[in-house]
């Protein structure tokens, strides 16, 4: 691979849109540029308002010119931009590398059915219940993963799930961990605000979360739940002075909100069904997302002075660093290995 590359990043969302994947794409782009590469980002615009299939077709047309002039193509999801970009790479003999984010099919299924399905069990127990659309998504996702030049996962946990479900070869995959930055602040809390995910989807388990914080026990302790959909910079400012962070999704792969909490030295309660558990298990409090009593006890316990002090020490002692420079270098290494 030459020193200065023309890199195409295909991503479903990008700032000013809000969300972890948007920030990931932004930081990866800026880091590649600091390394001297020329980066072109293609993302959904008006296509987002169109039906599945039509938006994929329009995005395919949208990226052709940029793809033709690209030396390396990095694709930051498996379906929305993954499918049309991998198809374009096949047609125009380009090598495209997918970096998985979440699991689009699992999210869609849980949202449709309203069933509390853990990701680790999803492909083993639910395939026979897929709708026609979900069967099509599964087949197209499998085609996309098999026809990409390599698949990057952020956790071994998700790689194990996908390798089994989509019949992937380990040699066609690699791990690039998420961003773990240096500690940014250690401010005291202003009030007992628990910051949570702002995505209003069923798998975030927000109904149970609100039920717990609306209980008289939580209110008596002064606990407040905050899960507003706000710009990233404002979100981080709120995190710096919040009491703690809580996320009790049915499953999470590599939740940015928890990694942000660690950088801000904020105690956190996290679903035990998380792909980075082995990395962060000594830094926080972990709960069964399907166990209401366990989650409530964790919240109430953290509201006590002694438990909060212990939780604060745990997160302050976490010191693993994985910079954007290192992430970008690992992306380049993945491309060189093709």
Q: What are the DSSP calls for 43-95, one per residue? A: E-SGGGGSPTTHHHHHHHHHHHHHHHT-SEEEE--SSTTHHHHHHHHHHTT--
| pLDDT of the residue at 46 | 82
pTM above 0.85, yes or no: yes
Q: Is 334 or 20 the better-scoring residue by pLDDT? A: 334
In percent, how much of the chain has pLDDT > 70? 99
Confidence of residue 2 (pLDDT cuts 50, 70, 90): low
Q: Tell me what the mean pLDDT of segment 174-181 comes to.
A: 97
What is the dotted CATH code of the domain comprising 193-316? 3.40.50.2000
Distance from C-alpha of 99 to C-alpha of 38, rounded to nearest angstrom: 19
Per-residue pLDDT of 48-99, as tens digits, reads 788 888 899 999 999 999 999 999 999 999 999 999 999 999 999 999 999 9
| pLDDT of the residue at 47 | 79
- 3-class DSSP state of 318: coil
Per-residue pLDDT of 136-149, as tens digits, reads 999 999 999 999 99
Say if CB 272 and CB 289 are below 8 A apart.
Answer: yes
How far is CA 131 from each of CA 106, 138, 161, 286, rounded to the nearest angstrom? 12, 10, 21, 33
Strands ordered across the beta sheet of 244-247: 224-226, 193-195, 244-247, 268-271, 285-287
Q: How far is CA 83 from the centre of its chain?
A: 19
| pLDDT of the residue at 199 | 78
| pLDDT of the residue at 228 | 82
Q: Where are the domains of the chain?
A: 6-179+323-336, 193-316
Per-residue pLDDT of 271-317, as tens digits, reads 999 999 999 999 999 999 999 999 999 999 999 999 999 999 999 99
Q: Tell me what the mean pLDDT of segment 18-25 comes to.
A: 88
In percent, how much of the chain has pLDDT > 90? 85
Q: Residue 192 pLDDT more than 90? A: yes
Q: Residue 214 pLDDT more than 90? A: yes
- 293, exposed or middle or buried, with CB in 10 Å at 0-12, 13-18, 19+? exposed
Q: How far is CA 324 from the centre of its chain?
A: 16
How far is CA 269 from each of CA 178, 243, 287, rounded to the nearest angstrom? 19, 11, 7
Say if CB 172 and CB 98 are below 8 A apart.
Answer: no
Confidence of residue 17 (pLDDT cuts 50, 70, 90): confident
Query: Does domain 6-179+323-336 bear CATH number 1.10.460.10?
Result: no
With residue 40 as reference, give the H or E element that holds it: strand 38-43
Torsion of CA 108, 113, 199, 106, to 10 degrees: -40
Q: Residue 151 pLDDT more than 70? A: yes
């Amino acid at each position: 691979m030459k020193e200065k590359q023309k890199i195409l990043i295909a991503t479903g969302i990008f700032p000013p849109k809000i969300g972890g994947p948007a920030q990931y794409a932004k930081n990866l782009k800026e880091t590649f540029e600091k390394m001297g590469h020329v980066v072109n980002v293609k993302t959904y615009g008006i296509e987002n308002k169109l039906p599945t299939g039509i938006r994929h077709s329009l995005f395919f047309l949208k990226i052709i010119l940029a793809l033709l002039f690209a030396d390396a193509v990095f694709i930051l999801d498996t379906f929305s931009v993954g499918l049309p970009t991998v198809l374009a790479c096949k047609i125009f003999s380009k090598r495209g590398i997918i970096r998985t984010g979440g699991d689009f099919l699992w999210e869609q299924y849980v949202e449709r059915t309203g069933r509390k399905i853990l990701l680790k069990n999803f492909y083993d127990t639910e395939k026979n219940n897929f709708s026609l659309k979900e069967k099509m998504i599964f087949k197209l996702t499998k085609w996309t993963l098999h026809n990409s030049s390599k698949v990057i996962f952020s956790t071994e946990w998700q790689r194990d799930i996908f390798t089994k479900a989509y019949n992937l070869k380990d040699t066609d995959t690699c791990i690039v961990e998420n961003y773990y930055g240096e500690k940014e602040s250690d401010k005291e809390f202003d009030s007992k605000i628990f910051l949570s995910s702002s995505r209003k989807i069923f798998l975030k388990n927000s109904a149970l979360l609100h039920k717990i914080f609306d209980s008289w026990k939580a209110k008596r302790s002064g606990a407040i739940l905050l899960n507003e959909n706000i710009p990233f910079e404002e979100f981080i400012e709120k995190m710096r002075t919040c009491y703690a962070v809580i996320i009790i999704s049915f499953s999470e792969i590599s939740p940015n909100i928890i990694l942000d909490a660690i950088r801000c030295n904020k105690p956190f309660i996290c679903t035990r069904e998380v792909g980075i558990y082995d990395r962060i298990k000594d830094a926080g409090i972990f709960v069964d997302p399907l166990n209401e009593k366990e989650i409530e006890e964790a919240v109430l316990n953290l509201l006590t002075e002694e438990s909060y002090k212990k939780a604060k020490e745990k997160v302050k002692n976490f010191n693993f660093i994985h910079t954007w420079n290192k992430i970008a270098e690992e992306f380049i290494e993945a491309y060189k290995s093709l």
